[in-house]
Amino acid sequence: MPVHAPTYTPADLGLAIENLRTSAPLIQCLTNAVVTNFTANVLLAAGASPAMVDVPGEAAAFAPVASAVLVNLGTPHAGQRQAMLEAARSAHSAGTPWVLDPVAVGFLEVRTRFAAELLAQRPTVIRGNASEIPALAGSGAGGRGVDATDDVEAALAPAAQLAGSCGAVVAVSGPVDLVTDARRTVRVPGGDALLTRITGGGCALGALVAAMVAANDGEALLGTVAAHALYSAAAERAAATAAGPGSFAVAFLDALAAVTPGDLSAQAVTA
C-alpha cells in the first residue's frame, strides 16, 4: 500500500507550470476522433505544442522527436491501433515519456486486449477513471462506457498494484484525483463537475499530463500532480463565470493560460 508523501507546495507546482510554459514541449497525440480539437486547444492554452501524428508508418518516426506521447483509446480503429503500438514501442525504445489513457477498458473487449498489449511498452503514466484503472489492473469490469461507476478511493489498491507492476505513475480522476507511484500517494482536490459535461474533459487531461512530465525532466509523479492541479484550478476559475457547459469550455481554455502559482494553494494537498 502506498505511503504518504511530502506535500507538493504551491511553489513546487508553480515551478512545474512555469517549466511547461517556458519549454513549450511538443506532444504527439494519438487520441480519439471526438476530442482531437479540444485536446489540441488545451495543450496550446497551457503552453505546449500539439502534434496529432497518428498515421501508421509515421507514428513511430515521430515519437523520438516528440517531447512526450499520448495514447488515448477512445476510438481505437484498426489503423490507429497500429499507429499507437508503433508510437508506444518507439517512445519506449527512445526514452520518450508516454501516457496511456485506457478509455472504457473492461467494458469493451477490443480495447481491453489492446490496452494489455500496450502495457508491455512500459507507459510512463497511466491516467483513467475509477472504473478503468481497476479494470486495467485486472480487478474490475469497467464502468458504463466511458463513465466511471466506482469510487476513487476504492481504486487506490488496484492503482498501486498497477503502478508497481508497470513501473508507471497511475492517476485516477474523480472529485478528488488520486496519483500514485506504488510507494507514494498524492491526492489533488478541486475541479468542477462541468468538466464531465463537455467533450474531452478527461481525455485532454492525459495530454496535459504528458506535457507536464516532459517539461519537468521526466519527473512523472510531480508532473502528473502538477497537471491535475493546474486542471483543477482552471476548472474552478472557469466555473465561477460560466453560464453552462458551452461557456465553461471556452472559459476553461482561458483559465489554463491564466492560472498562476497563487491559484494553486487549494490543490497542493497530499493525504
How many CB atoms lie under 10 A from the CB of residue 7? 12
Question: Among the residues of 53-190, which ranges form H helices?
Answer: 59-62, 78-94, 109-119, 132-137, 156-166
Decide: 188 and 152 in contact? Cβ < 8 Å.
no
Distance of CA 163 to the CA centre of its chain: 15
Handedness of CA 84, 85, 88, 93 (dihedral sign): negative
Which pLDDT belongs to residue 3?
A: 38
Grid cell of 43 as nine digits: 495543450
The closest of 206, 225, 223, 253 to 69, measured between CA atoms, is 206
What CA–CA distance (Å, rounded) separates 202 from 217? 24
Whole-number pLDDT of residue 9 = 85
Q: How many domains does the chain contain in total?
A: 1
Q: Given the DSSP bridges, would you call strands 184-188 and 177-180 parallel, antiparallel or unpaired?
A: antiparallel
Q: What is residue 195's predicted lDDT score, i.e. its pLDDT?
A: 95
Phi-psi region for residue 24, left (φ > 0), alpha (ψ -120 to 50) or beta?
A: left
Sequence-ordered alpha helix ranges (H) in 24-131: 36-46, 59-62, 78-94, 109-119
Q: Cα–Cα distance between 44 and 102 in angstroms, integer? A: 23
- Specify whether the CB–CB gap between 134 and 148 falls below 8 A: no
Amino acid at 237: R
Say what the pLDDT of residue 4 is: 44
Residues 157 and 1: beta-carbon distance below 8 Å: yes
- d(CA 163, CA 172) in angstroms, rounded, equals 12
206: helix, coil or strand? helix
Q: Are 24 and 51 in contact (CB under 8 A)?
A: no
pTM higher than 0.85 for the full model?
A: yes
Task: Give the CATH number, domain containing residue 214.
Answer: 3.40.1190.20
Cell of 271: 493525504
Is residue 34 classed as helix, strand or coil in its secondary structure?
Answer: coil
Tens digits of pLDDT across the chain (271 residues): 333 445 788 889 999 999 999 999 999 999 999 999 999 999 999 999 999 999 999 999 999 999 999 999 999 999 999 999 999 999 999 999 999 999 999 878 899 999 999 999 999 999 999 999 999 998 765 544 445 556 889 999 999 999 999 999 999 999 999 999 999 999 998 899 999 999 999 999 999 999 999 999 999 999 999 999 999 999 999 999 999 999 999 999 999 999 987 787 666 555 5
| Residue span of the structural domain in which 70 resides | 3-267
